[in-house]
Structure 1
């Protein structure tokens, strides 16, 4: 199997190759949380860069709760003209553009909401950036399911060629899956079948809205990498249920805001270490072994579902080696596309040298090694990497070249300032203007 091979999905859609630009938060929305020309410019650049599939960053289903200021929100038909332009730009050169649908749950910063929602009132403790959530009532959960369905329908109307449900990285659906965060004793908590109920209801509602021939993907953690959290056995069982539900593609990732395994770090930000390049784990893909375990579980149960693994790939050879193993059908990359927007074309032509993602970001030296002993420094370093790539993405979106090596500290300051500006400019959600409005 080669990166250049096409892939036909169960719904009938066909991807032109096996390279996927995975979801990354853009933060480019206007004050009404609508898409902008910057989205069009960014995704046209990536579409012309050769990837078979582009997946957007978090598009939120509820204006009251964002992953960060600057998220696009899609709850109604306002802003549809720019959404159509975004869809047209991102489907150049036969690329697919799938909208990632998300609700942050407790991972909604204080800049956006002082009372986020979650399955249980379990606060995310990360530098004091997140408020204590309110446990969702039954009507909150049912309303969220309807919102996912509505947003998927609007995405289809706008011209997006598929949707992805974000059930990973500690967002709302992932929170319901985790017994560490979900402490409910009703039909939404307890045993895995109850904790997975929200995910499966969302899948079913979206399929009802979009029909049988529109791609539906789910992004799922292989594990949370937390003691007492969602683990690989849970993930394998969820994969079996998702296959039965008719999901076209399962993307395997891992971690959350507290355990940033998705960035190539082991453990949580409090014990985060530098990416484990020496062992080869990052170069070979962070979640390959987990995805293969899920593939084996599907095969053993006589079920079939296409799998995509995202995170840590740095060479074409590593990607094709994983595809050759069987069971994994697509390779996802995220941050490398920020610095090299035509990365897919280079990979497909065999032109690309190993992707040196961390090279320009290394602090190095004795001072760095000493500072890594302190939790705050480790957390800020992880956030600095996220901010650095967000700045490169923003430059691409505004027609400028990525800047190459730069200070992580400066990138973090600029990133935080941009989020504060976005938060200050946002038009308040209607529910914040009219007290007592229902979900």
Structure 2
């Protein structure tokens, strides 16, 4: 049986197949964080390509906390009309759409925002400290405000017509920072024990669930590990998964890593066991073990490259959905091809500029693909041979422009 083509129902939403586009940064919004026709064009291309579901790239819940230029921000109903058009793109082609809601915490380039905030004032490693500033510790009042921002943004997404949201609790962003003992050094109810470190995630979930209807999907992306010494333990990870499952989460996407240990980009793939490599997916072994602990739907993203590997993973029961990300940047109709039994055409390789400091940060694994997204959004064919160095310098120029504009605006408002 072709497992990929089978349907799956969560609450009152039916997924027409088991292929989900994982979140990737689009960087298509303007400086005000408004979605536009480019988002519609990009997601329509993927919808036409046969996806059962698409999860958007980071959508910020606070304009003061953006992780990069070009990110969409949802704080009010300002962009409700455009968001409705975006939601309609999926409905027209039977593709479920989940908005990934996020707060980046400390992972914001210097100068992009007035300041960066996090659970604790923990600096980055020396290699990244030149790019990311040491954050300011959040007050309790600010923590409660951010929780409500997630809930408010989710309510707006439902009003726009999206089927659900994904809470970004992985990759070193704010929810993940609360969970990790490396970035959460608090001594109050938000830090210390894993029960306290999980509180922020659980309170965000409860607030979102309260602000939306019973049929609205609330999902989360969680790390299986920090991949850093002294990070969250396996026992603590299991606690988090079980706690959010018991709270009523609809689906958990399993991932791992952060900017300082980017396992989500496959950087550690060469260190995996040969048996794991043969099964393709980076986090499938963990999914198998956590499957016994939770009852909600599970999604594994990262590493899948063959139709057989995906079908085998689904047939094993380890996961309910296959997450694909980077391959969709160069093959928009990949879902149709996989269901027909074809494999990923273009091997995903590390994107290298030749500049050691840049390549170690794995930032190209984000911005090279974002460049492809803009091409697709404009109705053009993606270019698998696009120069990483050219993309990097264009990104650098755009980042500097955004920083200068932000500084000028800060001075005007001061």
TM-score range, shorter chain: over 0.9
Taking the aligned partners of 2:79 and 2:52, their CA distance within structure 1 comes to 27
RMSD: 2.4
8 Å Cα contact 2:64-2:114 kept in structure 1? no
How far apart are 1:376 and its partner, in Å?
2.4
Taking the aligned partners of 2:19 and 2:83, their CA distance within structure 1 comes to 24
CA 1:356/1:362 → structure 2, altered by over 3 Å: closer, same or farther? farther
Taking the aligned partners of 2:157 and 2:405, their CA distance within structure 1 comes to 25
Where does residue 360 of structure 2 map in the other structure? 379
CA 1:46/1:377 → structure 2, altered by over 3 Å: closer, same or farther? closer
8 Å Cα contact 1:188-1:197 kept in structure 2? yes
8 Å Cα contact 1:18-1:330 kept in structure 2? yes
1:199 aligns with 2:207: no
Where does residue 9 of structure 2 map in the other structure? 8
CA 1:65/1:215 → structure 2, altered by over 3 Å: closer, same or farther? same
8 Å Cα contact 2:5-2:339 kept in structure 1? yes
Gaps of 5+ in 1: 267-272, 299-303
Taking the aligned partners of 1:392 and 1:241, their CA distance within structure 2 comes to 38
Taking the aligned partners of 2:404 and 2:38, their CA distance within structure 1 comes to 20
Gaps of 5+ in 2: none
| Matched residue SS, 2:43 | helix
Structure 2 residue corresponding to 1:310, chosen from 277, 301, 306: 301
How far apart are 1:351 and its partner, in Å?
3.2
Taking the aligned partners of 1:193 and 1:149, their CA distance within structure 2 comes to 22
1:19 aligns with 2:15: no
CA 1:147/1:377 → structure 2, altered by over 3 Å: closer, same or farther? closer
Taking the aligned partners of 1:78 and 1:187, their CA distance within structure 2 comes to 35
Taking the aligned partners of 1:385 and 1:240, their CA distance within structure 2 comes to 31
Where does residue 232 of structure 1 map in the other structure? 234
CA 1:240/1:246 → structure 2, altered by over 3 Å: closer, same or farther? same
Where does residue 314 of structure 2 map in the other structure? 323
| Matched residue SS, 1:331 | strand
How far apart are 1:281 and its partner, in Å?
2.2
Question: 1:95-114 alignment to 2 at 5 Å?
Answer: 95-114=95-114
- 1:89-112 deviations in Å (ceiling 9; x for gaps): 233311101100000000011131
8 Å Cα contact 1:61-1:73 kept in structure 2? yes
Taking the aligned partners of 1:277 and 1:343, their CA distance within structure 2 comes to 28
8 Å Cα contact 1:67-1:109 kept in structure 2? yes
Where does residue 281 of structure 1 map in the other structure? 277
Taking the aligned partners of 1:136 and 1:377, their CA distance within structure 2 comes to 30
| Matched residue SS, 2:56 | strand
| Matched residue SS, 1:189 | coil
| Matched residue SS, 2:30 | coil
Taking the aligned partners of 1:210 and 1:274, their CA distance within structure 2 comes to 42
Taking the aligned partners of 2:166 and 2:342, their CA distance within structure 1 comes to 30
Taking the aligned partners of 1:60 and 1:255, their CA distance within structure 2 comes to 20
Q: Which moved more, 1:120-129 or 1:79-88?
A: 120-129
1:350 aligns with 2:346: no
8 Å Cα contact 2:17-2:52 kept in structure 1? yes
TM-score by length of 1: 0.88
Taking the aligned partners of 1:232 and 1:87, their CA distance within structure 2 comes to 37
How far apart are 1:388 and its partner, in Å?
1.9
Where does residue 270 of structure 1 map in the other structure? none
How far apart are 1:124 and its partner, in Å?
2.5
Question: 1:49-198 alignment to 2 at 5 Å?
Answer: 49-125=49-125, 126=128, 128-198=130-200
| Matched residue SS, 2:288 | helix
CA 1:35/1:316 → structure 2, altered by over 3 Å: closer, same or farther? same
How far apart are 1:78 and its partner, in Å?
0.8
Where does residue 293 of structure 2 map in the other structure? 297
TM-score by length of 2: 0.93
